Structure formats: C-alpha cells, structure tokens
Amino acid sequence: MENSQDAVGHELWDYLKGEDASEIVERDDGYFYVATGPEHYFADFENWDLHERKAMRYVKGRVLDIGCAAGRVSLYLQKKGFDGLAVDISPLAIKVCNERGVRNTKVASITQLSSKFGRFDTLIFFCNNFGLFGNPDRAKRLLRRFHGMTGENARIIAESVDPYKTTDPVHLEYHRFNLNRSRLPGQLRIRVRHKKYVTPWFDYLLVSKREMRSLLRNTGWRIERILDSKRAVYIAIICKA
C-alpha cells in the first residue's frame, strides 16, 4: 500500500500523536458517512463493548489478529500471556502497534495469509472484520485455506453487522442496487478517506447470521455460538466442523 493510500494508518497515527483524526467512508453509490472515531481502535478492555469482552473467553493457543488496526486486541491478549501475530494491510497501522508495544506484527492483507505465517489456534476478526473476506467466493476460498493453517480444535472469532437490521431507505436502496448486479445486499464497495489520504476501492462484506452459516458450508467450519449486541453487530464463535 502506497503512503497516499494509507488513510486508516494516517488516521491512527494522527490520533496516537494527539492530533485530530476522523474516518470518512465513501460507498460506490455516492453515500458518505463518518465512521466510529479512532478512539475505538485504542480502547482499553474495560471500555470494549460487552459482546467483545465476552468473546475473549473463547481465545486459546496461538492467536492471529487479522486487521489489527491499533492493536487493542493483541495488546490485551499479550498481557494475558497469549502468543500471537498481529497483521494489517496498513504499514502505518503496524507502526502504531509497534509504538504501543505489540511485540509480533507484520504488514499483510487477508489474501496474503497462509501457512508460511505459522500455525494458529485462534483467528480474530474484530471491528466487523469478517467484512475483509470481501465477497462470497473469496470468503470460501480463504476459509478453506485457514482451515489448513490452524490446529485441530481451532476457532475463529468473527464480528460482523447484519445489513438487514435497518429501515433507512438509502441502505435499502443499496441492497436492491447490489441485488441487481448479482451481489449480496451487504456486499459493500467502499473506500476510506482521512485528510488527503484515500484508500483504493475495496469490497467489504456484511452478512446476516444465516448468510454467514451459508458461507461456512463446505469450508470445514461451523458456527458454535453467537454473541449478540444491542445493535446490528454480532460476534460468531466459529469452530471446526
């Protein structure tokens, strides 16, 4: 990723240094919104959402923190004695993690992950990062790959947003827009802006629980438990089938 494209990394770096930071998300239908502030990526455990704190009970063994951002999950688990690796496509996000004390980090996208990175027992996708799978075909392909780079009793802890839990006509229109081009209703095409930095366009996949179960079919994984929140966000505890 070129420096000019590392919008999220610059947002995190600015916040770390005490400067104003914001994240603007642009969708391919022309819709813009201000995302949750960067303080969420830096939050201490006691300030996490309840369903996130509950999810930490299911972590075991060696951990791969995918899309680690500022490293809040890795820092918490590191203090608890877990070994692991934090990865993010953003070089500046990884620099932020290192500045904050995350020991093991690597710049990598979700599609670059393989057995070359080692063997893991828990894969974590926080901050709705199940969305990083991008589209159904890539999700199934990567889930099968992750099956081969994890232990016998491995788990995936994955957060997503149910896109159907909305009455906003703008979002409902986007669902129809996606269906008309043979995409899942929650398959977003977005880019992120911060100051003069703009990411490339990328797919980000929001799924209902039913859709997630469908994506897991024939990948060697199944949902063991769902941790709901008071919003459309939920965490799935996924185990080997």
Residue 241 and residue 221 in contact, taking contact as beta carbons nearer than 8 Å: yes
Q: Where do the domains of the chain lie? A: 48-186+207-240
Which pLDDT belongs to residue 173?
98
Question: Whole-model pTM?
Answer: 0.96
Q: Does domain 48-186+207-240 have CATH number 3.90.45.10?
A: no
Which pLDDT belongs to residue 37?
77
Q: What is the pLDDT along the chain (241 residues), one digit of tens a residue?
A: 899 999 999 999 999 999 989 999 999 999 999 988 799 999 999 999 999 999 999 999 999 999 999 999 999 999 999 999 999 999 999 999 999 999 999 999 999 999 999 999 999 999 999 999 999 999 999 999 999 999 999 999 999 999 999 999 999 999 999 999 999 999 999 999 999 999 999 999 999 999 999 999 999 999 999 999 989 999 999 999 9
Q: Provide the edge-to-edge strand list for the sheet that holds 150-161.
A: 105-107, 84-88, 63-66, 120-125, 150-161, 233-240, 221-228
Which pLDDT belongs to residue 11?
97
Q: b or e along 24-57 (b: 16 or more beta carbons within 10 Å of the residue's beta carbon)?
A: bbbbeeeeeeebeebebbbeeeeebbebbebbbe
